[in-house]
Structure 1
Amino acid sequence: MKTFTVSVVTPDGPVYEETGAEMVSTKATSGELGILPGHVPLVAPLTINAVRIKKDNNTQTLAVSGGFIEVRPEKVTILAQAAERPGDINVDRAAAAKERAENRLQKSKQEGVDFARAQLALDRAINRINLAGK
């Protein structure tokens, strides 16, 4: 069976680097992506979502906060603004961030609140909470 290497890198350094992946699935801004060995080269912006990596009949997940995916036939590289393994997610901190973002969104009609930034913070917190709960 053909496999490929998967690398997930953030500005703070590598988060995931493994060979032997059979499939990667994630969500780009254009829709859901399923990457198999030998996939045509591709670069796409990612949404705030989970990255699922299938290897040895197991699926590993990472919470990714946007970024880009670069696909080559033998390697998939994800350059993410932030990425965490489920076990590394501090659920209490994520829940507090979710609450702060919800409060900012409620106040967004008042001046001085950046709605888009608050919505992104909420999306990141929900993604982290959902992934940590699995």
Structure 2
Amino acid sequence: MAEKIRLRLVTPRRLLLDEEVDEVTGPGTLGEFGVLPKHISFLTLLEVGEMSYKQGGERHHLAISGGYAEVLDDVMTVLASAAEYADEIDVERARNARERAEKKIAELNREEREFAAAEAALHRALIRLQVAGREARR
């Protein structure tokens, strides 16, 4: 039997996943990282971005809104602020969020306090739209 890693993905609202998978990729603060079975233990912060995992020959995609990931003894635990599968994303809502953020950025100077929040909102909306465009599989 092929070696697997157990992926547990938890948000404050729900347990999204607790299954054996072949590999995981995630958006770390130092860039994208990958985890395979027998990976060395580590703990990292997660950025807003796309997380994916391969299971049974299929790749599954999720939008992640930051959090933490821990790998220990072939178990990867992800504690995410928010996470949603491609087929759960409300595309119209994400488009509206993108438009609002783009408008806010155009109105503000870089030095203004709200500018960074508007950039973060734009980044979240773009990630959600990117993931929503992936073929939805679970």
TM-score range, shorter chain: over 0.9
CA drift of 1:73 comes to 2.5
3-state DSSP of counterpart to 1:39: coil
Map of 1:49-88 to 2, 5 A cutoff? 49-88=49-88
RMSD of aligned residue pairs (Cα, Å): 1.6
Identical-pair percentage:
35
Match in the other structure for 1:98: 98
Cα distance change on mapping 1:112 and 1:71 into 2, 3 Å:
same
3-state DSSP of counterpart to 2:124: helix
Given the alignment of the two structures, is residue 8 of structure 1 paired with residue 24 of structure 2, yes or no?
no
In terms of mean alpha carbon deviation, does 57-66 or 85-94 score higher?
57-66
Given the alignment of the two structures, is residue 24 of structure 1 paired with residue 29 of structure 2, yes or no?
no
Contact 1:107–1:113 at 8 Å: present in 2 too? no
Map of 1:36-47 to 2, 5 A cutoff? 36-47=36-47
Q: Write the distance in 2 (CA, Å) between the matches of 1:95 and 1:106.
A: 17
Q: Write the distance in 2 (CA, Å) between the matches of 1:117 and 1:3.
A: 39
Residue 3 of structure 2 aligns to which amino acid in structure 1?
Answer: K
Residue 103 of structure 1 aligns to which amino acid in structure 2?
Answer: K
Structure 2 length as normaliser, TM-score?
0.90
3-state DSSP of counterpart to 2:116: helix
Number of aligned pairs? 133
3-state DSSP of counterpart to 1:11: coil
Q: Write the distance in 1 (CA, Å) between the matches of 2:8 and 2:110.
A: 42
Structure 1 length as normaliser, TM-score?
0.92
Cα distance change on mapping 1:110 and 1:5 into 2, 3 Å:
closer
Q: Write the distance in 1 (CA, Å) between the matches of 2:110 and 2:124.
A: 23
